[in-house]
């Protein structure tokens, strides 16, 4: 028993090195399929992620050189406090996260936390609902490109945002945070404000920082595309699928859902390509996956917040709740005749 405990502790301590070694070996064993997965991941990143996210990343960087956060903090403090139990400065990452996409919301949360406009607990609570899929991605990529329907994209966007707002309200009511009136105490405000004389320098820095972030996102998309390919070709994904089928029966979407839980865009694409008579099921699953966002995006958020030592736990709980609520809201709206997509 003692030896077993020692082996368990040793395995727990070395699990990551073991996984990295297995990943490297798998790259060699499945080199042909991994090459195709890498190309597909790069194509997905270049055609879907970069056009919808890069301009917003640059805009976010530019806004950090203005007084906009302070202005929003003062104007919206009386709105954000009673609804979300956070300072007015939270409106900045909330709005950016809603109109742009991952991980812009997390970057904005870190920005206002660094500037002393919120406490650590408030920043962690904000992570739960300020990180969302952008409208260009949901409407353009998911709705139009994957489903061939703007209406489906608008439906998914509406329920996605509604679920995010609901999470913010719920967390604000049930989580007691160490609230401190910071909305008017700008203790760490960046003094390097933009002017016409510094516009070129500021724009250059903003573009470089945005390129760094977009390349990081591209790396995650490619790596997880390869991981999904390895899981498929090694048969591991099929094993998980068969195990889940024991409990759920012959459900066509199991493999696609697992893919989506690992990497969002690949999973959404797989779900949309499954043709069944009741297309509402495809839409409901996509609503769930959009709400949860996947492990790949969770690691992207973690890479952004790790320097600030913010906990990722509220984010994970928030995304699970958002996934459930988005699915419920979508189901309710699908009962309305105008949204009846059953073919």
State pLDDT tens for residues 292-303.
998 989 988 988
Residue 5 within a domain: no
**pLDDT number for residue 194:** 66
Q: Which segment, 5-9, 20-24, 62-66, 74-78, is predicted with the most confidence on average?
A: 20-24
pLDDT of residue 6: 56
**pLDDT value of position 4:** 52
- Give domain status of residue 189, yes or no: yes
* Other beta carbons within 10 Å of 234: 14
Q: Is residue 81 part of a domain?
A: yes
Calculate the CA 229 to chain-centre distance: 21
Query: What string of DSSP letters covers 129-195?
Result: TS----HIIIIIIIIIIITS-HHHHHHHHHHHHHHHHHHHHHHHHH--------TT--TT-------
Rounded to whole angstroms, how far apart are CA atoms 38 and 3? Answer: 42
Tokens 């790259």 belong to which residue? 27
Choose from 44-53, 151-160, 232-241, 250-259 the range with maximum mean pLDDT.
Answer: 151-160
User: Does residue 20 lie in a domain region?
Assistant: no
Query: Which residues, including other chains, have CB under 8 Å from residue 39's CB and lie 6 or more apart?
Result: none
248 band by pLDDT with thresholds 50, 70 and 90: low
**291 and 312 Cβ atoms separated by less than 8 Å:** no
Q: How much is the pLDDT for 164?
A: 94
Residue 162: pLDDT band (50, 70, 90) is very high
Q: In this structure, what token pair is assigned to residue 84? A: 């979300």
Q: Evaluate if residue 8 carries a pLDDT over 70.
A: no
Its pTM stands at 0.82
Q: Which has the minimum average pLDDT: 6-15, 71-80, 243-252? A: 6-15
pLDDT digits (tens, 9 = 90+) for 111-156: 888 888 888 888 888 898 998 988 888 988 888 888 888 889 999 9
- Residue 1 domain-assigned? no
| Residue 25 is assigned to a structural domain of this protein | no
At 12 the pLDDT is 64
Number of domains in the chain: 1
d(CA 337, CA 341): 9
DSSP 312: S
Answer for the pair 300, 103: CB distance below 8 angstroms, yes or no. Answer: yes
In terms of pLDDT, which residue wins out, 186 or 196? 196
Res. 342 pLDDT band, cuts 50 70 90 = low
Percent of the chain clearing pLDDT 90 (strictly above)? 18
The predicted model gives 225-236 an average pLDDT of 89
In a domain, 154, yes or no: yes
The domain containing residue 306 runs over which residues? Answer: 32-339
pLDDT at res. 199: 80
Tokens of residue 322, six digits: 């958002």
> Which of 288, 291, 260, 268 is closest to 143 using CA atoms?
268
Mean of all residue pLDDT scores within the chain: 82
Question: Per the domain annotation, does 47 fall within a domain?
Answer: yes
**For 13-17, what is the mean pLDDT?**
79
Place of tokens 């099929």: 238
Tens digits of per-residue pLDDT, 73-85? 677 777 888 888 8
Q: 236, 91 in Cβ contact below 8 A? A: no
């Amino acid at each position: 028993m003692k030896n077993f405990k020692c082996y368990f502790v040793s395995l727990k301590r070395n699990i990551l090195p073991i996984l990295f070694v297995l990943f490297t070996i798998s790259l060699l064993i499945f080199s042909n399929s991994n090459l195709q997965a890498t190309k597909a991941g790069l194509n997905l990143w270049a055609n879907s992620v970069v056009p919808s996210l890069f301009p917003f990343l640059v805009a976010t960087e530019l806004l950090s050189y203005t007084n906009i956060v302070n202005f929003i903090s003062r104007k919206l403090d009386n709105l954000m406090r009673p609804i979300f139990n956070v300072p007015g400065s939270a409106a900045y990452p909330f709005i950016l996260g809603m109109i742009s996409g991952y991980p812009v919301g997390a970057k904005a949360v870190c920005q206002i936390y660094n500037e002393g406009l919120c406490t650590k607990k408030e920043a962690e609570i904000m992570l739960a609902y300020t990180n969302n899929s952008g409208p260009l991605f949901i409407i353009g990529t998911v709705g139009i490109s994957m489903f061939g329907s703007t209406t489906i994209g608008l439906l998914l966007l509406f329920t996605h945002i509604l679920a995010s707002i609901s999470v913010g309200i719920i967390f604000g009511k049930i989580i007691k945070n160490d609230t401190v009136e910071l909305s008017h105490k700008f203790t760490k405000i960046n003094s390097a404000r933009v002017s016409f004389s510094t516009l070129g320098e500021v724009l250059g820095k903003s573009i470089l920082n945005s390129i760094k972030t977009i390349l990081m996102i591209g790396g995650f998309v490619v790596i997880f595309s390869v991981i999904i390919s390895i899981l498929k070709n090694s048969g591991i994904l099929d094993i998980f699928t068969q195990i889940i089928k024991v409990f759920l029966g012959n459900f066509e979407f199991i493999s696609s859902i697992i893919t989506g839980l690992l990497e969002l865009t690949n999973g959404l694409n797989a779900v949309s390509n499954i043709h069944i008579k009741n297309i509402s099921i495809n839409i409901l699953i996509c609503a769930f996956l959009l709400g949860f966002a996947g492990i790949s995006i969770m690691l992207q958020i973690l890479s952004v917040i790790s320097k600030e030592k913010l906990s990722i736990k509220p984010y994970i709980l928030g995304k699970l709740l958002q996934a459930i609520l988005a699915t419920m809201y979508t189901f309710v709206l699908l009962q309305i005749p105008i949204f009846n997509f059953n073919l």
